[in-house]
Amino acid sequence: MDIILSNSSDKPIYEQITSQVKAQILSGTLAAGAKLPAFVHSRATWA
């Protein structure tokens, strides 16, 4: 699971995470009901 976070974005971090997880569920990349990794273990990238 790749999540790209930007500290220069107008969107708060929690909204960036929420919108990207939702998009991955809707696209089928992330299965509905799948367990999410701990944030430390996710592959978050700061842009």
Amino acid 34: pLDDT: 86
Is pLDDT larger for residue 35 or for residue 32?
Answer: 35
Q: What is the domain partition of the chain in residue ranges? A: 2-46
| pLDDT digit string, tens, across residues 1-34 | 778 888 889 999 899 989 998 999 999 998 878 8
What is the pLDDT confidence band of residue 44, given thresholds at 50, 70 and 90? low
User: What pLDDT does residue 41 have?
Assistant: 52
Residues for the chain: how many in total?
Answer: 47
pLDDT number for residue 6: 85
Q: Quote the pTM value.
A: 0.71
C-alpha triplet 27, 12, 9: angle, nearest 5°: 85
| H or E element, residue 37 | none
Residue written as token pair 């220069």: 8
